[in-house]
Amino acid sequence: MDDTSTLLDPEADAGHAAEPARDERPDLRGLPLELLGRLLAELGERPFRARQLYRWLHQKGAASLDEMTDLGRDLRAALATRARLTTLERASEQRSEDGTIKWAWRTADGKLVESVYLPEPERKTLCVSTQVGCAVGCAFCLTATMGLSRNLTAAEIVEQVHRANRRIVELGEGTGPRPLTNLVFMGMGEPLANYKNLKLALELLLSEDGPNFSHRHVTVSTSGLVPLIAKFGAETPVKLAVSLNATTDAQRDALMPINKRYPIAALLDACRAFPMRNGRRITFEYVLLGGVNDTLEDARRLVGLLRGIPAKVNLIPYNENPGLGFAAPAPEAVQAFFDALVAKNVTAVVRKSRGRDISAACGQLAREGGPGRPIRAGGPKRPAPPAPPLAPVQPSSAGPTLAGTRSDR
């Protein structure tokens, strides 16, 4: 197996994980408007063609150059010679009894990644993946059993959104070209470990001539890559979610090996320094594991940890993955934990589990046959792949909410 020691190093190039092996032609789907303009200028085209092409790519989600019927045939032929166009193939589609849809997408080099559509009356959310697998190695997460194959390109990240939009329209569940209203980067992978491609994907998705998502409706989750949290906050306008899941370092070390490199104190210091412009506040995701981190003492410690941070807490009752050795919390433990937070004026919601019957719920995304051969329900127990070697850390509220559930990730 390749050395994974750099895969969580924000200063590293990440070697084999950075890009898929492919031809060197630029990918139209991953070019910002300015670079599309340069390419078209080299082809002798007038400046307005760049915006025209960009809108085909990112407003209409065109799957091929042939769809771009108001571009001349000669121009389309020239573009096909000078560039390529990433389009994901829908490898599978599963629909949950609650309306959730999980798609597996096949990349040009044969990798499979998953994204999940979460429809609700007031919004339509897509949970997006940023890597093929994951190197973080969280003990309770099925994706961790895959290991990391590679980063997704910006084009592949954005393309999940375009294919989902088009499929939702085909299914009669929304009107085009962009029925989706919200995006959460909480699928396969650690988004900040693929920072360069994540940032470009966000620029494309928020662009006025593209899908034009509101920054208030886009959330990126991290397991705690401390050096990149401030950078992410300064360079993007979208919201941050932090997967915390524990209230002591001993507890978090066992659940999330990244804590050995970036312990809770360093993580929360980074959160306190996070730019809170545009009404931002940080969402702390807390997976409740039965008998592990779901006690009233855990709740009291969590209140203390979050003091002084504009935040809300998403409590996530664990979605069981047979073979990983964890159990869901008792309903009364969830309610008691929630009540303890609210009593101290911590804004909290209990996340409603969606898509559990199709392995689409939080912590259940993985692909059979991928690196590490992920476990599925009923499969034999097998330990997650070893975490990357860990290095020392580099120097570097609102009122209560009524008890209830939310299905946003």
Catalytic residues: 114, 362
The first and second tokens of residue 283, run together, are 């969402």
Q: In 10 A of CB 72, how many CB atoms?
A: 12
For residue 318, what are the CA distances in angstroms to 192, 310, 334, 349, 352? Answer: 24, 25, 10, 15, 11
**Alpha-carbon distances of 165 from 106, 150, 351, rounded to whole Å:** 17, 25, 24
Tokens at 18, concatenated: 């950075």
What sign has the CA pseudo-torsion 243, 249, 252, 258? positive
List the one residue out of 405, 409, 367, 392 whose CA is nearest residue 149: 367
106 forms beta bridges with: 89, 112
Question: How many other CB atoms are found less than 10 A from the CB of residue 66?
Answer: 11
Structure letter (DSSP) for residue 311:
E
CB 166 within 8 A of CB 172: no
